[in-house]
């Protein structure tokens, strides 16, 4: 049998990816560097515009806040799910999966219903006399944040349940027998062992929020653009392909950078764990 | 593990957060008013009828189905052999190639959609339908590589070697020994890729045009100009579809294995 065969069966996918992913990407991004001569002017001038910088910073800020709140909400929930009996765990995992598999348009639409001028939250607050005029909740950065948390919290929970299930429950019991309170045992034992999972989940939430299109488009309005909606607007509404391509590369680099940094942190923590052991 | 009341309450609140918005959509789909109201007045099925009377919803649903099925099948045909080659053979630069196959998940969806639109559709004048199909193929492929690849890694290689020694050709051994043994993970990867492709917005948004629009894209454009219970009704129907798919996955191999 020839050694060429594995390459032969890899070839179709490889060629398709080169022709329909790599070449289109390069053809879009190359002109931002080369226009008769090589320069990075497209990028320096992009970042000299405070409007563009504002969108870039908003995207990073929203992604950070969303990741942080998802961790706060997701870690205890995942811990709770991992601690239930297998039957309950299956049911709760299915409950977590369901929103995750529901279309992001529907999930954003749900928050339009809740946050709108005549939305559930405004009506509820005015009926109990908390507010006299509806609060502008929709089309704000706040609505993007809450919509994104709603979008990515299930991913973090599912990632973490997998990690926490693998922590030996006897470790917890040992800690408690030795006199640690449950909360202390959680903070000292379970949390450190879950950190690799928290990091993996955080990368998914952060890059997901960074690149999400539907939620900022439907919940953010035109005044609260994020990089992905800005890219779409430049490409399809304004016909400004130069800027669209610049945003495309910025998004790719930011995503890769975030993954790299989180991986570095994860590796460092893993090594420390080995030394401790 | 002992239960703790505070933790249970916290988890209960998180699940309420995850479900109340979807429950509200479901309730508003049955309200009689022509704008969305909560709580609803009256009870009607007319918005569900309205979904089926909206030709653009029907057309885009059929297109979504077609695109997602074709793209996922193409990803299976290309992806399964690739995953096999990557786990079984000493391919040079294996990690690099694997990362390349998984890269569509790292490249943001809007970027994939934009570059396909600009290069394939505008420059090469490829019809939108094909662009859309390619885009969905790209986002489906990583799921196949990842899920099938991990189950191939766990499969005992020796059963395949036995078949070879007994005189089976490599192709025959692959189709009659390897494939049946990983059939559940093939199904799982197919379902995952299908659901993801069906729900995709960022790639589809760039590659839609007159008569070519997937259901989520149509729904999204509809929401930007209308705010009525038809959207709630369509959402309920799509959620029912999701429940049916989850039920099918659970019955065939268990949800736990898919995630």
Q: Which of B248, B236, B243 is nearest to B28 (CA)?
A: B236
Say if the Cβ atoms of B22 and A17 lie within 8 Å.
Answer: no
Q: Which of B171, B106, B226, B164 is nearest to A8 (CA)?
A: B171
Q: Are B148 and B186 in contact (CB under 8 A)?
A: yes
Q: Which residues contact A103 (CB under 8 A, 6 or more apart)?
A: B198, B199, B216, B219, B235, B238
- The pLDDT value recorded for residue B256 is 66
Say if the Cβ atoms of B201 and A158 lie within 8 Å.
Answer: no
The answer to whether B45 faces chain A, any CB pair under 8 Å, is: no
Say if the Cβ atoms of A10 and B91 lie within 8 Å.
Answer: yes
Nearest chain B residue to A18 by CA: give it: B100
| Percent above pLDDT 90 for chain A | 66
Q: Half-sphere exposure of residue A228, counting CA atoms within 13 Å on the CB side?
A: 31
Q: Which residues in chain A (99-118) have CB-CB distances under 8 A to chain B?
A: 99, 101-107, 109-114, 116, 118
**Average pLDDT taken over every residue of chain A:** 90
- The pLDDT value recorded for residue B259 is 61
B110 CB neighbours in chain A (<8 A) are 211, 213, 228, 231-232, 248, 251
Nearest chain A residue to B122 by CA: give it: A24
Own/partner contacts of A52-55, CB < 8 Å, gap of 24 or more, are A52/A230, A52/A243, A55/A225, A55/A226, A55/A227, A55/A230
CA distance B216 to chain A (A): 7
- The pLDDT value recorded for residue A183 is 77
Q: What is the pLDDT of residues B71-111, one digit of tens each?
A: 999 999 999 999 999 988 777 888 899 999 999 999 999 99
Region A212-228: mean pLDDT is 94
Q: Are A271 and A196 in contact (CB under 8 A)?
A: no
Q: Are B233 and B43 in contact (CB under 8 A)?
A: no
Q: Who wins on pLDDT, A12 or B157? A: A12
Q: How many CB atoms lie within 10 A of CB B242?
A: 20
Q: Cα dist. B229→A239, B19, B127, B235 in Å?
A: 34, 19, 34, 10
- Distance in angstroms (rounded) separating the CA atoms of residues B49 and B230: 9
- The pLDDT value recorded for residue A276 is 47
Q: Can you give the pTM of this predicted structure?
A: 0.92
- The pLDDT value recorded for residue A36 is 84
Say if the Cβ atoms of B115 and A104 lie within 8 Å.
Answer: no
Q: Are A153 and B16 in contact (CB under 8 A)?
A: no
Say if the Cβ atoms of B103 and A107 lie within 8 Å.
Answer: no
Say if the Cβ atoms of B19 and A95 lie within 8 Å.
Answer: yes
A139 CB neighbours in chain B (<8 A) are none
- The pLDDT value recorded for residue A277 is 40
Say if the Cβ atoms of A103 and B238 lie within 8 Å.
Answer: yes
Say if the Cβ atoms of B120 and A252 lie within 8 Å.
Answer: no
Q: How confident is the model at residue B253 (pLDDT cuts 50, 70, 90)?
A: low
- The pLDDT value recorded for residue A68 is 98
Q: What is the pLDDT of residues A44-62, one digit of tens each?
A: 999 999 999 999 999 999 9
Token reading at A20: 């329909």
Q: What is the pLDDT of residues B173-201, one digit of tens each?
A: 888 889 998 988 899 899 989 999 999 99
- Distance in angstroms (rounded) separating the CA atoms of residues B8 and A20: 48
B115 CB neighbours in chain A (<8 A) are 21, 24-25, 27-28, 248
Nearest chain B residue to A171 by CA: give it: B1
A5 CB neighbours in chain B (<8 A) are 85, 89, 170
- Distance in angstroms (rounded) separating the CA atoms of residues A82 and A90: 10
- The pLDDT value recorded for residue B1 is 45
Phi, psi angle pair for B182, to nearest 5°: -110, 15
Say if the Cβ atoms of A103 and B8 lie within 8 Å.
Answer: no
Say if the Cβ atoms of B116 and A111 lie within 8 Å.
Answer: no
CA distance A68 to chain B (A): 15
Determine whether A218 is exposed, middle or buried from the number of CB atoms within 10 Å of its CB (0-12, 13-18, 19+): buried
B22 CB neighbours in chain A (<8 A) are 99, 102, 106-107, 110
Say if the Cβ atoms of B256 and A25 lie within 8 Å.
Answer: no
Q: What is the pLDDT of residues A142-168, one digit of tens each?
A: 999 999 999 999 999 999 998 888 887
Round the CA-based radius of gyration of chain B to a whole number and report it. Answer: 22
* Interface predicted TM-score (ipTM): 0.91
Q: Which residues contact A268 (CB under 8 A, 6 or more apart)?
A: none
Q: Are B202 and B110 in contact (CB under 8 A)?
A: yes
Region B220-248: mean pLDDT is 93
The answer to whether B100 faces chain A, any CB pair under 8 Å, is: yes
The continuous run of DSSP H or E covering B152 comes out as: helix B128-154
Q: How many CB atoms lie within 10 A of CB B18?
A: 21
CA distance B150 to chain A (A): 16
Region B29-33: mean pLDDT is 91
The answer to whether A17 faces chain B, any CB pair under 8 Å, is: yes
Q: Who wins on pLDDT, A67 or A85? A: A67
**Average pLDDT taken over every residue of chain B:** 91
Q: Tell me the sheet residues that pair with A38.
A: A34
- The pLDDT value recorded for residue A76 is 93
CA distance B85 to chain A (A): 5
The answer to whether B179 faces chain A, any CB pair under 8 Å, is: no
DSSP for residue A66: H
Nearest CB partner across the interface for A213, out of B109, B141, B245: B109
Q: Tell me the sheet residues that pair with A34.
A: A38
Nearest CB partner across the interface for B91, out of A6, A81, A218: A6
């Amino acid at each position: 049998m020839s050694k060429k065969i594995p390459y032969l069966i890899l070839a179709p996918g490889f060629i398709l990816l080169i022709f329909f992913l790599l070449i289109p990407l390069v053809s879009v991004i190359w002109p931002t560097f080369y226009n008769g001569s090589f320069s990075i002017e497209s990028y320096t001038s992009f970042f000299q515009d405070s409007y563009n910088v504002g969108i870039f910073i908003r995207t990073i800020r929203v992604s950070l806040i969303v990741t942080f709140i998802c961790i706060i909400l997701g870690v205890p929930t995942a811990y709770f799910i991992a601690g239930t009996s297998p039957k309950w765990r299956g049911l709760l995992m299915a409950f977590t999966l369901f929103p995750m598999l529901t279309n992001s348009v529907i999930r954003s639409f749900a928050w339009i219903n809740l946050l709108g001028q005549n939305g559930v939250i405004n009506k509820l607050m005015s009926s109990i006399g908390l507010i006299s005029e509806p609060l502008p909740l929709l089309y704000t950065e706040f609505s993007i944040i809450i919509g994104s948390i709603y979008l990515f919290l299930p991913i973090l929970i599912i990632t973490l349940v997998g990690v926490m299930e693998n922590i030996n429950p006897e470790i917890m019991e040992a800690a408690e027998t030795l006199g640690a309170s449950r909360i202390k045992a959680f903070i000292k034992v379970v949390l450190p062992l879950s950190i690799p999972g928290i990091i993996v989940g955080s990368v998914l939430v952060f890059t997901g929020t960074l690149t999400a299109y539907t939620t900022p488009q439907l919940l953010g309005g035109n005044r609260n653009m994020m990089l992905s909606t800005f890219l779409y607007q430049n490409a399809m509404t304004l016909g400004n392909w130069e800027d669209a391509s610049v945003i495309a590369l910025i998004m790719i680099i930011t995503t890769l950078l975030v993954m790299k940094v989180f991986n570095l942190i994860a590796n460092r923590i893993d090594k420390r764990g080995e030394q401790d052991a | 593990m002992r239960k703790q009341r505070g933790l249970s309450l916290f988890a209960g609140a998180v699940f309420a957060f995850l479900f109340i918005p979807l429950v509200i959509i479901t309730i508003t789909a049955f309200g009689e008013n022509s704008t969305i109201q909560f709580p609803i007045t009256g009870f009607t099925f007319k918005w569900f009828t309205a979904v089926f009377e909206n030709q653009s919803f029907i057309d885009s649903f059929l297109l979504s189905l077609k695109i997602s099925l074709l793209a996922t099948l193409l990803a299976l045909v290309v992806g399964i052999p690739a995953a096999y080659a990557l786990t079984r053979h000493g391919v040079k630069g294996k990690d690099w190639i694997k990362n390349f196959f998984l890269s569509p998940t790292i490249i943001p969806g809007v970027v994939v959609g934009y570059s396909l639109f600009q290069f394939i559709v505008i420059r090469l004048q490829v019809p939108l339908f094909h662009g859309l199909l390619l885009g969905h193929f790209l986002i489906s492929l990583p799921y196949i590589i990842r899920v099938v690849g991990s189950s191939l890694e766990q499969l005992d290689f020796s059963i395949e070697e036995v078949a070879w020694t007994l005189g089976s050709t490599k192709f025959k051994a692959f189709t009659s020994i390897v494939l049946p043994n990983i059939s559940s993970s093939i199904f799982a990867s197919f379902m995952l890729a299908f659901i993801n492709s069906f729900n995709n917005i960022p790639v589809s948004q760039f590659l839609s045009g007159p008569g070519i629009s997937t259901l989520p894209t149509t729904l999204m454009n509809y929401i930007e100009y209308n705010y009525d219970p038809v959207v709630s009704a369509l959402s309920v129907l799509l959620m029912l579809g999701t429940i049916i798919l989850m039920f099918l996955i659970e019955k065939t191999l268990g949800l736990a294995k898919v995630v």
